[in-house]
Structure 1
Amino acid sequence: MSTAYGTESMNVNNQQLTRMYLENLEVHVTAAGYNQVWTDWRELDYTPDYNKFYLICEGEGWLKIGDAEFSPQPGEWFLMPQGVKQSFSYTSGLRYTKYWCHFTARIGERNLFDLLQTPLWIDTEQDSGPIELFRELLKHHKDSALTGPLLVKSAMLKLIAHYLERSAVTPQGLRPAAVSEPLQQVISHIQRCYHRNLTIEELAELAHLQPNYFIRVFKRQFGTSPIQYINKKRLEEAKLLLATTNLLLSEIGDRVGIPDISYLSRTFKAFTGFSPSAYRLAFSPEQLPVNAKKPQQ
């Protein structure tokens, strides 16, 4: 299945912003199941503090999400976001049978679906992936094994990823929600000038905020601090240069804004698990001599 990342449907800035959100995503599953609803399945105008996925397998009923009303059909997968007024009801005829889960998905203090614009439903016709992923989630959700919580999180992340990938190829597409103009200027400035000695004061001035308050606002919006974001950007660029060029480490340090080679080496290894030279050998196979072995982590 194709994804939106790297396609014409998302520009570079949107891709970078979306990836930043997803890299800092924390999920927690509060409930999950597969069952047929009762005839009294009904609740009106309530606002949950968690997100919900409903994958309709058979039956009929009614949903309202915000101001939008739906009569979901088998094969349709619905997202009911946290903090949005909702209603649902059994109508008549065959009751719904559905896979479902309640979950939180946060970047810092924000809900993922406040930060990304996604459709409220997607059609899963001829796609067995969602059912398999729900089954995986339910299997681990009932498991009392020591590693069960990790496996539940892994399954939930796969479900979210599948939903986002399918969302990206719908007419509505997948887009980051609007970021305030000052914060957007900050992100654009970092993308252009990460190799410079950027300061919190400089970035805070762009955002028209006091430095300490700016740090809190940035972390609340993006799930990471400004300095962490800048350092990650520098190290990602260093990875690219190591893998695609023959530049000396000192030249790479100058290009990415970390001219202290010793500090760059330590930070790079902490970030990747490889020294810069080992990373270059591992990910630039054309530079390896015949019969040479790639270094281990």
Structure 2
Amino acid sequence: MKPTIESILQNHLNTIQAEVTMSAYTESFPGWMEKNAKPDFFRFCYTVKGEAWLDIQNNRHIMQPGTLYFLPAGTVQSFGTEGDEPFCRYWCHFRLELGDIHFMNSLQLPPFVHVKDMQMLQALFAKMNTTQRCDSITRVLRLKAILLELIAYYLDESHFKREIHNDSGLGVKWNDVLAYIEANLHENIQIDALARFAFLHPNYFITSFKNIMGCSPIQYVTNRRIELAKQLLMDTELPVASVAKQVGMQNHYLSRLFKRYTGITPVQYRRIGKHHDICSLDSTVTASKEENN
């Protein structure tokens, strides 16, 4: 996958808005059936015992223990028990923002994944059910955190197709635009130049870029420069001044911006990363001298 496409995916995932509307553990006995449901919400369903059949998008699946199903909103879904045992499963319903719905659909996720760590996944669902019943002011926040963990797990296990297809917003060659930014982080990147590169008026380019990436072009360039600086600090022995030059910044500006983003200086970041010693944060005298090199 090209780094620029990964940037688009990463920005979407970083800003995804999801809300749990209901979760539970349910046992359905032989003979249970639900036909032609078309919910406007998404579903996760994790089978722990028994079997059931699922018809979705003209395909039939047998839901067996150890499988986690992802059922998109707006699809026709029919269920029924299979065999003589009760069908026991954890499930949750959740909603996404409109833009996130389009994004999730573009990933072409498989209908299910095989769960490798069943104890971990069952614990996540159990925690969600417990949290749903509490009356804490942080209840919604905790539910969202668990749901995002489930979504992340599903994405990792599904090895989703990391491409974005047939998106009218991608009529502009965003991959080329982002590749240009990546190759020129050491230069003074101008909005007008990016707009010309994309064959768009600067004002329309800024709006389109923000719709695709979730942030302004300037913010994106700054984020990429900080990430490149982190990489250079970890992978090389370059002085901070040389790192700053390679990311298109003055030394003092990189140090100030880096600390604003991470809470520590570039030298402190390098020391912690290379030596894994949080106590190095206290070593400010040496760091201050090195920052001026």
Q: TM-score range by the shorter chain?
A: 0.7 to 0.9
For residues 63-91 of structure 1, what are the alpha-carbon distances to aligned partners after superposition, in whole Å with 9 as ceiling and x for unaligned? 33334332322322111123x42222325
**Where does residue 140 of structure 1 map in the other structure?**
131
**Where does residue 259 of structure 2 map in the other structure?**
269
Structure 2: gaps (5+ residues): 285-293
Contact 1:59-1:95 within 8 A present in 2 as well: yes
Q: State the Cα distance separating 1:95 from its structure 2 match.
A: 5.2
Q: Which secondary structure state, in structure 1, belongs to the residue aligned with residue 70 of structure 2?
A: strand
**Where does residue 85 of structure 1 map in the other structure?**
75
1:44 equivalent to 2:36? Answer yes
| CA distance in 2: counterparts of 1:36 and 1:117, whole angstroms | 30
Q: Taking structure 1 as reference, are residues 66 and 187 closer, same or farther at Cα in structure 2, changes over 3 Å only?
A: farther
| CA distance in 1: counterparts of 2:39 and 2:208, whole angstroms | 25
The partner residue of 2:24 within 22, 30, 33 is 33
Letter in 2 for 1:42: E
Contact 1:186-1:206 within 8 A present in 2 as well: yes
CA RMSD after TM alignment: 3.0
1:160 equivalent to 2:151? Answer yes
Q: State the Cα distance separating 1:234 from its structure 2 match.
A: 0.2
| CA distance in 1: counterparts of 2:274 and 2:258, whole angstroms | 17
The normalised TM-score by structure 2 is 0.80
**Where does residue 12 of structure 2 map in the other structure?**
21
1:207 equivalent to 2:198? Answer yes
**Where does residue 64 of structure 2 map in the other structure?**
73
Pairs within 5 Å for 1:98-113 = 98-105=89-96, 109-111=99-101, 112-113=103-104
Higher share in helix? 2
Letter in 1 for 2:34: R
| CA distance in 2: counterparts of 1:186 and 1:116, whole angstroms | 22
Contact 1:117-1:176 within 8 A present in 2 as well: no
Letter in 2 for 1:77: L
Q: Taking structure 1 as reference, are residues 213 and 81 closer, same or farther at Cα in structure 2, changes over 3 Å only?
A: farther
| CA distance in 2: counterparts of 1:70 and 1:153, whole angstroms | 28
Letter in 1 for 2:36: L
Q: Taking structure 1 as reference, are residues 151 and 267 closer, same or farther at Cα in structure 2, changes over 3 Å only?
A: same
Letter in 1 for 2:281: P
**Where does residue 176 of structure 1 map in the other structure?**
163
Q: State the Cα distance separating 1:217 from its structure 2 match.
A: 2.8
| CA distance in 2: counterparts of 1:245 and 1:115, whole angstroms | 38
Q: Taking structure 1 as reference, are residues 272 and 70 closer, same or farther at Cα in structure 2, changes over 3 Å only?
A: same
**Where does residue 7 of structure 1 map in the other structure?**
none
How many residues align? The count is 276
| CA distance in 1: counterparts of 2:196 and 2:25, whole angstroms | 51
| CA distance in 1: counterparts of 2:91 and 2:37, whole angstroms | 19
The normalised TM-score by structure 1 is 0.79
Q: State the Cα distance separating 1:174 from its structure 2 match.
A: 4.3
1:234 equivalent to 2:225? Answer yes
Letter in 2 for 1:275: T
Letter in 2 for 1:279: Y
